[in-house]
Structure 1
Amino acid sequence: MYGLLLFSHLAGLMVWVGAILAVIVMLFMLKGQLGTPEANSLSKRIISVFSRFAHPSAFIVLVSGVIMIIQLNMGSSKPFWLDMMEKAGGTIILLFLIVVGIMGGKLKKRLQAAASGTVSISSYVTSLAISLIAILAVVLIVSLKL
């Protein structure tokens, strides 16, 4: 059972990080063309597809991680890296789901309303970049077992 949970955890993490990286690159490449109906529509579609992959995979990472930590049954004598993965990782996932979900929904509405107007996507891309850096920081700490 633990092996299946670990696989789900790592697969979800790969999909989540890959989706964030892909949407950052795609939206950054479209940034100069925003304002045209085609680019705004494409940006809206990119955010929708991103949400379909990133949010479920982040949820899978959260659930599988919680179950694995419960199965370890270490109580309060956890090493720093495991404590960091549990607390910081869980917080990052929950913040990601809430903040990026809300920002993505608002951005999609603004892109649809301003079909031929310029819409700023920089705050959305910045929040994704911060999420990516935070995720990679937790992965580094866990990988090095600090």
Structure 2
Amino acid sequence: MFGFMLFLHLGGLLAWVGGLIVVIAMIGLLSKQLGASADSNLLARKSLSIFSYLAHPGAVLVLGSGLYLILKMGSGSKPLWLDIMEMGGGTIAILSLIVTGILGSKVKKKLKAAGGQPVKVTGYLTTMTALMVLILGVVLVVSLKI
């Protein structure tokens, strides 16, 4: 069971990070065209929806399987990398779920109501990039077992 949960944990991490990469790339490439045409707005809204369907379940899967793996490891003295994975990874996953949900819906509303006006998404892209850096930072610390 431990091996299966580890597989789910890594699969969820791939879906979560992959979804973030896709939305950062798509919205970043479309950012200059947003608001100017209905097609680019529709593509951006669809990209955000697909991101939500990939990344949110991935983050929930990482949280659930990570909790199971931590409980199976037991308590006691833990190395630093495991503490960072527990506290940092869990906090980032919960923060990511909340922030991406709220900001994604705000950007979708802006895109829907653009009406030919330019739509600024720099705050959204900056936040998504910061989350990506935090996630990859935790993955790096865990991979190096610092």
TM-score between the two structures when normalised by the length of structure 1: 0.96
1:19-98 to 2 correspondences below 5 Å: 19-35=19-35, 36-75=37-76, 77-98=77-98
Q: Please identify runs of 4+ aligned residues in structure 1 that moved more than 4 A.
A: none
CA RMSD after TM alignment: 0.9
Q: TM-score, normalised by structure 2?
A: 0.96
C-alpha separation in 2, matches of 1:19 and 1:100: 11
DSSP 3-state at the match of 1:132: helix
Amino acid in structure 1 at the alignment position of 2:80: F
1:46 is aligned with what amino acid? S
Alignment of 1:18 onto 2:18: yes
Provide the aligned length of Structure 1 versus Structure 2: 145
1:19-69 CA-to-partner distances (Å, cap 9, x unmatched) read 111111111111121121111111111101100100000000011001100
Conservation of the 8 A alpha-carbon contact between 1:16 and 1:53: yes
Q: State whether residues 31 and 121 of structure 1, in contact with CA within 8 Å, keep that contact through their aligned partners in structure 2.
A: yes
Shift of 1:100: 1.1
Give the drift of 1:103.
0.4
Please list every run of 5 or more consecutive structure 1 residues that lacks an aligned counterpart in the other structure.
none
Give the 3-state SS of the residue equivalent to 2:89 in structure 1: helix
Q: Which runs of 5+ in 2 are unaligned?
A: none
Q: Determine what percentage of the aligned residue pairs are the same residue.
A: 48
